Amino acid sequence: MNCLFCRIIEGQIPSSKVYEDEYVLAFRDIDPQAPTHILIIPKKHYDSVLEAGPRIIGRMTEVAKKLAVSEGIAENGFRIVINTGEEGGQSVKHLHMHLLGGRSMQWPPG
């Protein structure tokens, strides 16, 4: 398997895991852009959000919400981002949700 995140799921590449269930894995981003920066990914490979259905996206969103609470960023606010495609800034072609918080966010994003 050539996909970086599939290799993380398989345990071939180490990661700082914060959550795991049958369908979803969450781990800390290697290059954090905020005090809390977690990636939430489906265990099944989807190239992007375009291929994924509402059930898995719903599960990922529920995990992001739970982690926002457990990370202590729910009260002050946080951001969930799914970069998609070239202009969307997606660098890893395995669907992932960024959970960012712990600082004030800018809008519009760069």
Residues forming the active site: 96
- Token pair in block for residue 105: 């966010």
User: Residue from 2, 11, 22, 31 that binds ligand 5GP (CB under 6 A)?
Assistant: 31
Question: Parallel, antiparallel, or unpaired for β 78-81 and 36-42?
Answer: unpaired
Whole-angstrom CA distances from 58 to 25, 62, 64 are 14, 6, 10
- The distance of closest approach from Cβ of residue 24 to ligand 5GP in the complex, given in angstroms and rounded to an integer, is 15
User: Residue from 45, 59, 79, 98 that binds Zn ion (CB under 5 A)?
Assistant: 45
How many chain residues bind ligand 5GP (CB under 6 A)? 13
CA-angle at 91, arms to 43 and 26, nearest 5°: 30
Q: Contact between 15 and ligand 5GP (CB under 6 A)?
A: yes
Q: How far apart are CA 53 and CA 38, in angstroms?
A: 21
Segment contacting Zn ion by CB under 5 A, of 21-29, 42-50, 61-69, 82-90 = 42-50
- Token pair in block for residue 110: 């760069």
The binder of 78, among Zn ion, ligand 5GP, none, by C-beta within 5 to 8 A per type, is: none
Binding site for ligand 5GP (CB under 6 A): 4, 13, 15, 27, 29-31, 39, 83, 89-92
